Structure 1
Amino acid sequence: MSVVIPVYNEGEGVVRHLERILREVLLPAEILIVHDTPDDTTVPYAQEIARHDPRVRTVLNTYGPGPANAVRFGIDAALAPVAVVTMADGCDDPRQVDDLARLVDRGVVVAAASRYMPGGQQVGGPRFKRMASRWAGRTLSLFARVGTRDATNSFKAYDTEFVREVGIESRTGFEIGIELTAKATRLGRPVAEIPTIWLDRQLGESHFDVGRFLPSYLRWYFFAFGRRLTVTQLAERWADRKPDLDLVSADRAKEETPA
């Protein structure tokens, strides 16, 4: 598998999480540390670990700044047929990485680590974010039948062929998880879940901006309730939107690049 970890100035804090991943991931894997700029404070610490463990490599995201572009770039750069996306802050439990990858190997296109199924739990984090994600997960599971009770969680494994087939339209934040879950649902592709315990980060500050990311989450939330699509119909929709999305991504890169 390819484990994709988007980073943004995690500094020395990434070391503990990387060490846990390298200890807990037992299947053959490459660990991609995806950073937006060469001077990201995460890079020297990750490269030092890479010197001693060839599974780790740092990759410079050239798709534009932000977590969505970093995840897009990481999945495109993945060499394995399974890509597992996990965060650099230590909130996700690396013991679930192998199990998520095995689900994809068995045939699902999206395997979700679920905080809201029996055996799962969310510890800490902003109250509004917790309430909103739980409500979204529950309603999507009950009414849209998306196959997981935690569609908004970023900690997921994907069939990389499926991702490249349907494309990633997200350009803002961490809404890729719900986008690909919604697309799998609309195409009738299998989605599965396993329980996980999510712990709020212990070091550093979260870069999740609810006000900025919420509109994108809502867009994909409502998309999940649509009628069944074929791959051709989805591809036509993607082709119609891609030029506008590329312009948005370029404009955002200009806005966020220091003068």
Structure 2
Amino acid sequence: MTLTPQVSVVIPVYNEGEAIVPCLERILRAVLMPAEVLVVHDMAEDTTVPFAQSVAARDPRVRTVLNTYGRGPANAIRFGIDVARAPVAVVTMADGSDDPRQIEDLARLVERGVVVAAASRYMPGGQQVGGPRFKRALSRGAGRTLYMFARVGTRDATNSFKAYSTAYVRQVGIESKTGFEIGIELTAKAARLRLPVAEIPTIWLDRQLGESRFDVGRFLPSYLKWYRFAFGRRLTMEQLAKRPASSAARDDAQAARAASTVAPAEVRDTFSSNHEAVQN
């Protein structure tokens, strides 16, 4: 029996190699609702691809998807959400730091009406284990002040492990093109639009294999941009749409979805499985 996915799990990857296999296996065991798992890579020669494809051969919920927006995690996440077929997209990392058992809980919050559901390390019941102290301090401080003063609906706006209404994302667009600041961007936009955001506690574990590619110095300016944006006055969807960057982001999303149906054969093969039903 074939089913349309309820949730699209978007995993940006970069040369994860064999380490992607246990990550995917944990997700596939944990997610019981109809799902697609998109392993989004920037280049055909990424070492993650053959290992992800070996898992896909056993479980058709998994697909490798070539990101055509440009390299980097923000572009990979943007592309993954734009081509997702489910009404809910959950972004999670390939390093095993996120708890895959919470994917369904996050997705169900979006099904109930929130536009952003955050896995929060900083609410009661949440915890962050490991990671650089300076990064932890910045993240916790940003989350606390955004929650208290900008009323963004979560104490952990900077965490990438979130679920989104894909309809909401396609309305507001994603402007981030650098690092992992998409989480705070979409949370800040929801706050300015007065749209509902919710959170559940999570325990985040620092990656055990490989090295983190989060560069505080490189990504901090982009985080600060969206941190400041969250404190503005209320916006309507029309006012947000008039921002040139928002319009460009929506154009990118429309082009990506169109490419999945009308692209030349050599490109269309990359996207073909976006139109196949997902096996339960």
**Band the TM-score falls in, shorter-chain normalisation:** over 0.9
TM-score (norm 2): 0.86
Contact 2:120/2:199 (<8 A) preserved: yes
- Give the equivalent residue in structure 1 for 2:210: 204
**TM alignment of 1:1-259, pairs within 5 A:** 1-239=7-245, 242=248
One-letter amino acid of the counterpart of residue 66, structure 1 = G
Q: Deviations over 1:16-64 (max 9, x none)?
A: 1111000011111000000000000000000000000010000000000
Task: State the secondary structure of the residue aligned to 2:242.
Answer: helix
Contact 1:169/1:238 (<8 A) preserved: no
TM-score (norm 1): 0.93
Distance in 2, Cα, partners of 1:240 & 1:57 = 28
One-letter amino acid of the counterpart of residue 19, structure 1 = E
Distance in 1, Cα, partners of 2:98 & 2:115 = 20
Identity of aligned residues (%): 80
Distance in 2, Cα, partners of 1:231 & 1:84 = 23
Contact 2:175/2:245 (<8 A) preserved: no
Task: State the secondary structure of the residue aligned to 1:221.
Answer: helix
Number of matched residues?
245
Task: State the secondary structure of the residue aligned to 1:177.
Answer: helix
Distance in 1, Cα, partners of 2:68 & 2:23 = 24
Q: Deviations over 1:158-215 (max 9, x none)?
A: 0000000000000100000000000000001000000000000000001111100000
RMSD value over aligned CA atoms? 1.4
Task: State the secondary structure of the residue aligned to 1:2.
Answer: strand
Contact 1:186/1:224 (<8 A) preserved: yes
- Give the equivalent residue in structure 2 for 1:251: none
Q: Which ranges of 4 or more aligned residues in structure 1 deviate by more than 4 Å? A: none
Runs of 5+ consecutive residues of structure 1 not aligned to the other structure:
247-259
What is the CA-CA distance between 1:242 and the residue it aligns to? 3.4
Distance in 2, Cα, partners of 1:169 & 1:240 = 6
One-letter amino acid of the counterpart of residue 169, structure 1 = E
Q: Deviations over 1:99-139 (max 9, x none)?
A: 00000000000000000001100000011100000000000
One-letter amino acid of the counterpart of residue 67, structure 2 = N
Contact 1:167/1:238 (<8 A) preserved: no
One-letter amino acid of the counterpart of residue 218, structure 1 = L
- Give the equivalent residue in structure 1 for 2:273: none
Distance in 1, Cα, partners of 2:67 & 2:112 = 30
